[in-house]
Amino acid sequence: MSYLDLLNDAQRSAVIHNEGAVMVIAGAGSGKTRVLTYKIAHLLNNKVDAFNILALTFTNKAAKEMKDRIQKIVTGNESLNISMGTFHSVFAKILRVESTKLGYPTNFTIYDMADSKSLIKHIIKEQDLDDKIYSPNSVLSRISSLKTNLISPAEYNSSDDYLNEDKRAQRPKFGLLYSLYCERCFKSSAMDFDDLLYKTNVLFRDYPDILNKYQKKYKYILVDEYQDTNFSQYLIVRKLAQLHKNICVVGDDAQSIYSFRGANIQNILNFKKDYPTFKMFKLEQNYRSSKTIVEAANSVIEKNTEQIKKNVWTDNEIGKNINVVETINDIDEANYIADIIKNTIFTTDDDYNKIAVFYRTNSQSRQLEESFRKKGIPYKIYGGMSFYQRKEIKDLMAYFRLTINNNDEEAFLRVINYPARGIGKTTIDRLVLAARTNNTDIWTIMENPNLFPSDINNATKTRLKDFAVKIKGFTASLLQKNAYELASYITSNTGIMKELFDDRTPEGITRYENVEELLNGIKEFADSYYVEEVVDPEALFPSLDKYVNEISLITEIKDENSDKNTVSLMTLHAAKGLEFPYVFICGVEENLFPSQLSLQSRKEIEEERRLFYVGITRAEKELIITYTNQRYQWGQLRPAEQSRFIKEIDHKYVDFVSTSEHYSYNNDFSKNKFSDNRDDYNNNDWDISEFQDKTHYYKKIQKQTTIATNSPAFAQNKKMVKLEEVINTPSFNDTGNNDWDEGDKVFHQRFGNGSILNIEGVGQNKKASVLFDNFGKKDLILKFAKLTKLNN
DNA sequence: AGTGATCAGATTTTT
DNA sequence: TCTGATCACT
């Protein structure tokens, strides 16, 4: 077989060692993914059924990459039958099959971070706790770490240690919050990210027959990025591998960068205990980077105390020294990077997609974006606000979720009054109260509002009923309409389409287009629906719930521009597993990288150092590290200083450069102008290409629109829209007390006595200008103002 | 109920 | 600086 000839000795040994427990310690750039893919190919070539293979990755991106690679080297469609994906997605699928055992419906919702946060906020508020002491973020991260370590609310609340710890930390109610949070998730038929692993553990613990079923199925288990697995994941893998004990884990302890999320290097040590006869293979030859880069990276990582011994080396050329560049401030830094990129492209004839810029925090991308736009450099930002996090997408998805799972409380709260249908906070409070006092659920109340006593007025009751009927109608269509048909039906039937279409601001147009894109994605899903194992005919039907299940764990939309020729901008965390010929790491400053929050302990600083190591080892040919002396942060210019990590690179691999020599004119300029007016400085000296900043363009348009408000055309337009609104208002004819006249003397509860100067508008929108004796002139909408006419 | 205005808080990383 | 949340106002 020719593919084995493409491997070095260590790689080949790892690939052909199929049976038993295997640990592959793979240095950066040593062909880890190659080993994993070839290993799977080798299994398939040795008559292992694809259905018996489980391959777990850390990110969706890694899963997709591995799938693509395997498809290329394995003939036929066999690779599609491998259970491959992130821990979360693979076990979410299993949970869908087994959820009823745990008291969850098959169509349980998966709460994302935003849902979890919103829920915990509600709970904190309901408990009347101070959200400064119980900050939603800190509460959530503690809950997450408990779940990751498989500590249930009951266990927590019966442990004196935990309770005392909370008392000491002035957060005695934490245990209660944890319990309530889990209860509410359960009532909503929802699982959060951690639940997907936690509940899998519960399932395997409480149902040995189910565990056995999957143990039998998964004869071969492979785990990528093992250094970043947490305890919950470790235990699932251990349980599943117990029967066949064919388990292969691949990782690099030097690249463990997710301990903040519960990742535990101990898992590597536990591996030795759990499988005493395991075989270890070390991949130490680096094929990616120049000698300079490999050795510089080694010189950094050796400052860490705890690590598995290995010697990463390379046969590649020595290559250029690393440039460490001192810049004046963040703008100068971004401009410098943009300049060097242009120069590199110009002199080497390489493409933009050979270049990547890494940073520690997402917020650093903004300045880079601005400079790149001005210099006409095409770029793509990875991570940050993803497509599915956009408001308009979340709103629509919430309708889908509520349709699929009527218990989904977060989805319910999101859409109950969107688009506005006159059901506000007060009504929801009354609804919840009515449900509680009548000992039933809100849907029963909404559907039969007159059967239960409540404070909800009649008009609102009708609205609630309409909403409930509407959603139930969608739910009933789940198996009648396919995903696309139902999704577009919901989009237009709820008025979302009209709402977005009517908003002709540039942002509104973008939102409309995003919804169109989502619908297109759903259409594509419905048209190309494929099922691995046909269990029943229903499984063949591309229903909306199947679509939502599929994408609820995906954060990035499939990118059609991925092969476009652009520079890649991303955080160092997102860079893991990637490689580029030219790499920039920017903002390498104390308090930023290493992050200020990590300076508390040696462990955390070592993790930051590993992150730096990951960044360095992404580079193939050239590495440029930048830092600035001043950085704009929290709306303020703050002094910055070179990171300790720069000093840790063996200086024989480094050339130090400063922009103040190259751009001394900028320097002078900044002294006079910088602190006063960043925009001036920003625009200085740089050719503004036709590659325009979209947001700036939008801002300009918005301004024009505001000015144009007074133009006759606009006014006419506005009148038409208004008229339409008025006609559509049910209470159009309900004019109420209508007989106001100019000159009338009136009384207002707040403003006291006054006289009407002028009346305008009709019906609902009737307005009065009133000159009050003590408060001057006020414009009041009569519907709300509750004026009393004074007889004189 | 809905809207605009003002104020406080945030910027670590991701499934 | 930018965002979200709350509040005052109609």
pLDDT for the residue A788: 63
pLDDT for the residue A421: 81
| Nucleotide closest to residue A421 (CA–C1') | B1
Q: How confident is the model at residue A450 (pLDDT cuts 50, 70, 90)?
A: confident
pLDDT for the residue A497: 85
Strand B: positions under 7 A of a protein C-beta atom: 1-3, 9-15
Q: If you measure CA to C1', which residue is closest to nucleotide B11?
A: A363
Q: How confident is the model at residue A20 (pLDDT cuts 50, 70, 90)?
A: very high
Q: What confidence tens digit (pLDDT) does each residue in A296-307 have?
A: 999 999 988 877
Query: Which comes out higher in pLDDT, residue A244 or A771?
Result: A244
pLDDT for the residue A706: 23
Reference A649, options A585, A716, A734; nearest CA is A585
Q: How confident is the model at residue A580 (pLDDT cuts 50, 70, 90)?
A: very high
Long-range contacts from A61-70, C-beta under 8 angstroms, 24+ separation: A61/A556, A61/A577, A62/A33, A62/A86, A62/A224, A62/A225, A62/A577, A63/A89, A65/A33, A65/A577, A66/A33, A66/A36, A66/A37, A66/A40, A66/A224, A69/A33, A69/A34, A69/A37, A70/A37, A70/A40, A70/A41
Strand C: positions under 7 A of a protein C-beta atom: 1-2, 5-6, 9-10
Q: How far apart are CA A146 and CA A160, in angstroms?
A: 15
Q: How confident is the model at residue A684 (pLDDT cuts 50, 70, 90)?
A: very low
Q: Is A15 left (phi over 0), alpha (psi -120 to 50) or beta?
A: alpha
Q: How far apart are CA A648 and CA A654, in angstroms?
A: 11
Q: How far apart are CA A159 and CA A670, in angstroms?
A: 59
Does residue A780 reach within 7 angstroms of strand C, measured from its CB?
yes
Q: How confident is the model at residue A654 (pLDDT cuts 50, 70, 90)?
A: very high
DSSP H/E element including A140: helix A136-148
| Nucleotide closest to residue A88 (CA–C1') | B15
The C1' atom of B3 and the CA atom of A574 lie apart, in whole Å, by 40
pLDDT for the residue A702: 25
- A698 has pLDDT over 80: no
Contact A625, A322 (CB under 8 A): yes
Q: What confidence tens digit (pLDDT) does each residue in A189-212 have?
A: 999 999 999 999 999 999 999 999
Q: How far apart are CA A217 and CA A247, in angstroms?
A: 13
Does residue A634 reach within 7 angstroms of strand C, measured from its CB?
yes
The C1' atom of B1 and the CA atom of A781 lie apart, in whole Å, by 13
Query: Which comes out higher in pLDDT, residue A212 or A761?
Result: A212
pLDDT for the residue A88: 94
Cα–Cα–Cα angle for A573, A577, A583, rounded to 5 degrees: 75
The C1' atom of B8 and the CA atom of A719 lie apart, in whole Å, by 38
- A116 has pLDDT over 70: yes
Does residue A394 reach within 7 angstroms of strand C, measured from its CB?
no
- A455 has pLDDT over 50: yes
Does residue A781 reach within 7 angstroms of strand C, measured from its CB?
yes
pLDDT for the residue A586: 94
pLDDT for the residue A410: 87
Does residue A767 reach within 7 angstroms of strand C, measured from its CB?
yes
The C1' atom of C7 and the CA atom of A536 lie apart, in whole Å, by 55
Q: How confident is the model at residue A559 (pLDDT cuts 50, 70, 90)?
A: low
pLDDT for the residue A291: 96
The C1' atom of B1 and the CA atom of A425 lie apart, in whole Å, by 9
Q: How confident is the model at residue A459 (pLDDT cuts 50, 70, 90)?
A: confident
pLDDT for the residue A781: 55
Residues of A belonging to the active site: 32-33, 224-225, 255, 618
The C1' atom of B6 and the CA atom of A497 lie apart, in whole Å, by 32
Question: Exposed/middle/buried for A221, CB within 10 Å: 0-12, 13-18, 19+?
Answer: buried
Q: How confident is the model at residue A94 (pLDDT cuts 50, 70, 90)?
A: very high
Question: Exposed/middle/buried for A27, CB within 10 Å: 0-12, 13-18, 19+?
Answer: buried
Q: Of the segments A31-40, A111-120, A494-503, A615-624, which one has the largest average pLDDT value?
A: A615-624
Tokens 């300076």 sit on residue: A599
Q: If you measure CA to C1', which residue is closest to nucleotide B10?
A: A634
pLDDT for the residue A500: 80
Query: Which comes out higher in pLDDT, residue A269 or A652?
Result: A652
A104: Cα within 13 Å, side-chain hemisphere:
31
Contact A109, A82 (CB under 8 A): no
Find the range with the poorest average confidence among A51-65, A264-278, A678-692: A678-692
| Nucleotide closest to residue A695 (CA–C1') | C2
The C1' atom of B5 and the CA atom of A60 lie apart, in whole Å, by 42
The C1' atom of B11 and the CA atom of A158 lie apart, in whole Å, by 37
Query: Which comes out higher in pLDDT, residue A555 or A345?
Result: A345
| Nucleotide closest to residue A117 (CA–C1') | C4
Q: How far apart are CA A250 and CA A12, in angstroms?
A: 14
The C1' atom of C7 and the CA atom of A122 lie apart, in whole Å, by 19
pLDDT for the residue A325: 93
- β-pair partners for A53: A220
| Nucleotide closest to residue A63 (CA–C1') | B15
| Nucleotide closest to residue A632 (CA–C1') | C1
Q: How confident is the model at residue A689 (pLDDT cuts 50, 70, 90)?
A: very low
In whole angstroms, how far apart are CA A137 and each of A201, A367, A385, A537, A727?
25, 27, 18, 44, 46
Q: What percent of chain A has pLDDT over 90?
A: 41
| Nucleotide closest to residue A751 (CA–C1') | C9
The C1' atom of C1 and the CA atom of A117 lie apart, in whole Å, by 24
| Nucleotide closest to residue A678 (CA–C1') | C1
Find the range with the poorest average confidence among A124-138, A435-449, A602-616: A124-138
- A735 has pLDDT over 50: no
pLDDT for the residue A1: 53
Average pLDDT of the residues in A99-111: 94
Q: If you measure CA to C1', which residue is closest to nucleotide C1?
A: A635
Q: If you measure CA to C1', which residue is closest to nucleotide B14?
A: A261
| Nucleotide closest to residue A750 (CA–C1') | C9
Q: What confidence tens digit (pLDDT) does each residue in A42-83 have?
A: 999 898 999 999 999 988 878 888 888 888 888 777 888 899
Q: How confident is the model at residue A740 (pLDDT cuts 50, 70, 90)?
A: low
The C1' atom of B11 and the CA atom of A197 lie apart, in whole Å, by 29
The C1' atom of B14 and the CA atom of A60 lie apart, in whole Å, by 11
Which residues numbered 101-140 in chain A sit less than 7 A from strand C, measured from CB? 121, 125
The C1' atom of B9 and the CA atom of A116 lie apart, in whole Å, by 20
Q: How confident is the model at residue A248 (pLDDT cuts 50, 70, 90)?
A: very high
- A384 has pLDDT over 90: no
Classify A745 as helix, strand or coil.
strand
| Nucleotide closest to residue A121 (CA–C1') | C5
Query: Which comes out higher in pLDDT, residue A454 or A16?
Result: A16
Average pLDDT of the residues in A131-140: 82
Q: How confident is the model at residue A708 (pLDDT cuts 50, 70, 90)?
A: very low
- The one-letter amino acid code at A400 reads F
Cα–Cα–Cα angle for A680, A685, A686, rounded to 5 degrees: 95
pLDDT for the residue A263: 82
